[in-house]
Structure 1
Amino acid sequence: MADVIETGAGKAHRLRELREFLMSRRARVSPTEAGLPDGGARRRTPGLRREEVAVLAGVGASWYQWLEQGRDISVSPQVLDSVARVLRLSNAERRHLYVLAGLNPPAPEPAADHGCEGLRRLIDAWMPYPAHLMDAYYNCVMYNEAAGWVLGMRPENTQNCIVDFFTDSMYRSRSHSWERNARTIVAQFRAAYSSRPDDEGFRDVLSRLHAASPEFTALWERRDIQDAGVIRKELDHPLVGLLCVESTALKVPARPDLTVVLHTPLDEENTAGKLEWLASPEGRRGAMYPVAG
């Protein structure tokens, strides 16, 4: 919001929405839910009173009244978080409150009620094409069978996608696009790292990479930056020959800490047909060794 030039009409609409949103959220929280005695008295309006929200949030009653009236006042993230806590806002509602108040919303938080079961079904449904799931530090959370046959993902690896890219000799021997993709992958990792420079998880992965791969270090020192996106991969599978796929990294709104990486066959080298054969009973019998890529 801070970087967007807001028109007068847009601001007026936003403040009206802020007023209506706060009133609706306040009305749904009972005194008992907020930890207050209801006293058995009949209330003119449902939910909490403005003064009660102010006291519970630790802000002035007049200030909260102005906020709920949609007045153009200064707000801070700390105060909005206190109001969100009192009004029992969900993660999505808290972010919405920030936007209505004219602040940049915080990063989405993982939803506690959204596990990985649906994501497992997603990557399994992507068969016979490779797919895997990784966290913010490129740790592999799960992968489907095709990712094992084609990308060489297997239990004995480090289970970190970028570390394995630079240290798995099988992967490198099968990849025709290794040098080109190495530059892209390091640039993408630097972009992710630069947004969280004090994160110990990123520092640990970076330390492992420097210790394991001089090639990574040389690319890292180029200081190239690139957003995550589509990468073309050319892989030499010992059973079916050359495979040409396109990997796409997708963020998961319900789990912002995770990324789904889907590999789509390109219209070259009969890649789709080869992947389908590898998933067939005949192909499974022939796939005695994991193949990198």
Structure 2
Amino acid sequence: MNDHGSGNGELREFLRSRRARVTPDQAGLAPQRGTRRVPGLRREEVAQLAGVSVDYYIRLERGRNLNVSAAVLDALARALRLTDAERDHLFDLARRGRPRLRSLPPQRVRPGLLRVLESMTDIPALVVGRRLDVLAANRMGRALITDFDTLPERERNMARYMFLTPAARRLYIDWETGARDTVAALRLYAGRNPDDRRLAELIGELSLRDEDFRRWWAEHDVLRHSHGVKRLHHPVAGDLTLNYEALAVSDDPEQSLGLYTTEPDSPSEQALRLLSS
């Protein structure tokens, strides 16, 4: 995680990675003769599209602290065709100074939410907090993925599970997609919380121990994972296609309730019933 400690470095690498992904054709620029030496857009093309001087954009991409206005950041987001999550990440990176690592207070799940969780007897559910820590799971959630309660507290984490637990690669049929999404969600959190000491330790360990994580972390993708479809090959229930929904917890924006549901009268619903029994 060679760049995690530097906000300027993060901004530089993020802008470069997004610029490389937009072709002049996608940006609506007129075709030019000659070979292009860079993938995607040139710096001067981004500056033109965003309505800023080339010198200003070059200094910004080099990570110079220029007190960028919201209007300029919005123009850059449009020029680089950023998603909503990427736009938010750009704002986070541009607005922060050099972070000082600190230990954040531990998160706790409200007793009332825990009772709601345990009352869901047919739906796998879990509460995920900062840096994708698994704060709680109901009986079905533990049966579907793994029993995080048996792990040391620092190891109850979805990113650790995805990359450091061999069973995860067998459980997720689309493991690479899920793992990339996990990295992108972690990158989005890192933009908002660059001073989280536990996050720095987590990224450092995953980068050291897993080549896939190290490679995908360097791509600077970001994702707000609010819903989707998960395909699992469960050792007990067999193949499952599950709809995933992440709901924000009202009194703690850094907690979300994740629910896994199936289509009515589907083979996956029957398989989930088998798991429940």
Class of the TM-score when normalised by the shorter of the 2 chains:
0.5 to 0.7
String of CA shifts for 1:61-89, please: whole Å, max 9, x gaps: xxxxxxxxxxxxxxxxxxxxxxxxxxxxx
> 2:127–2:134: 8 Å Cα contact kept in structure 1?
yes
Aligned CA-pair RMSD: 2.1
Q: Alpha-carbon deviation of 1:216?
A: 0.6
Q: Does 1:254 align with 2:251?
A: yes
For the residue of structure 2 that corresponds to 1:261, the secondary structure is strand
Q: Provide closer, same or farther for how the CA distance between residues 159 and 210 of structure 1 changes in structure 2, counting only shifts above 3 A.
A: same
Q: Which amino acid aligns with 1:142?
A: A
Q: Provide closer, same or farther for how the CA distance between residues 178 and 268 of structure 1 changes in structure 2, counting only shifts above 3 A.
A: farther
Q: Give the 5 Å matches for 1:93-172.
A: 116-154=110-148, 155-156=150-151, 158-172=155-169
Q: Which amino acid aligns with 1:146?
A: M
Q: Provide closer, same or farther for how the CA distance between residues 238 and 269 of structure 1 changes in structure 2, counting only shifts above 3 A.
A: farther
Q: Alpha-carbon deviation of 1:267?
A: 5.5
> 2:246–2:256: 8 Å Cα contact kept in structure 1?
yes
Return structure 1 stretches of 4+ with deviation > 6 angstroms.
Answer: none
> 1:132–1:143: 8 Å Cα contact kept in structure 2?
yes
1:232 paired residue number: 229
For the residue of structure 1 that corresponds to 2:131, the secondary structure is coil
Q: Provide closer, same or farther for how the CA distance between residues 267 and 215 of structure 1 changes in structure 2, counting only shifts above 3 A.
A: farther
Quick one: distance in 1 between partners of 2:253 and 2:176?
30
> Aligned match of 1:199 in 179, 196, 201?
196
For the residue of structure 2 that corresponds to 1:176, the secondary structure is coil
For the residue of structure 2 that corresponds to 1:201, the secondary structure is helix
> 1:181–1:231: 8 Å Cα contact kept in structure 2?
no
Q: Which amino acid aligns with 1:167?
A: L
> 2:128–2:255: 8 Å Cα contact kept in structure 1?
yes
> 1:244–1:268: 8 Å Cα contact kept in structure 2?
no
Question: What is the aligned-residue identity percentage?
Answer: 23
Q: Does 1:275 align with 2:272?
A: yes
Task: Give the gaps of 5 or more residues in structure 2.
Answer: 1-107
> 1:152–1:170: 8 Å Cα contact kept in structure 2?
no
Look at both structures and tell me which one has the larger radius of gyration over its CA atoms: 1
Quick one: distance in 1 between partners of 2:160 and 2:121?
25
Deviates more, 1:177-186 or 1:147-156: 147-156
> 1:163–1:208: 8 Å Cα contact kept in structure 2?
no
Q: Alpha-carbon deviation of 1:255?
A: 2.3
- The number of residue pairs the alignment matches comes to 167
String of CA shifts for 1:14-55, please: whole Å, max 9, x gaps: xxxxxxxxxxxxxxxxxxxxxxxxxxxxxxxxxxxxxxxxxx
2:187 paired residue number: 190
Q: Alpha-carbon deviation of 1:159?
A: 0.9
TM-score normalized with structure 2 length: 0.56
